[in-house]
Structure 1
Amino acid sequence: MMTFINLMMTFINFMMTFTNFMMTFTNLMMTFTNLMMTFTSLMMTFTNLMMTFNNLMMTFTNLQPYGDIRQPYDDIH
């Protein structure tokens, strides 16, 4: 009887070890996913900065020589 109980406890110990291994593997995959999401966030931040720089360049390109707001006396010669 003790041998059967010992065998059952060994099997339960093996299943707990396997469960621990699977939880470790899941934790590693979640860490890898978190790293990829961080890298994606950094790339989106870099893209946002480039779009801001592009918007600034387009703003300066679109400016008129005398400014965007014309005064009433600009047409008087």
Structure 2
Amino acid sequence: MIEFADNAPRWQQIADVLRARIADGTYPPDTRVPSLVQLTAEFGVASVTAQKALRHLREEGDTYTVQGLGSFVSRRA
């Protein structure tokens, strides 16, 4: 688990961690990012918090979702 700062929402901090992992190549384009279950376990947050982080990344264009398969890194990220 990470240490959360008090000055930003947890979902935003999770999205920032995932975005950094995308930028450093931990999650290359077209690879799956951790599932909702994996994120809740890794960060110790409620599923709604992890879901909001994933939704934010999708809305920003960093990831895309394939129904039934999960979220994947966009090529533009």
- Place the TM-score, normalised by the shorter chain, in its bin: under 0.3
**Higher strand share goes to which structure?**
2
Q: TM-score, normalised by structure 2?
A: 0.23
Larger RCO, structures 1/2 (Cα 8 Å, 6+ apart): 2
**Higher helix share goes to which structure?**
1
Q: TM-score, normalised by structure 1?
A: 0.23
Larger Rg: 1
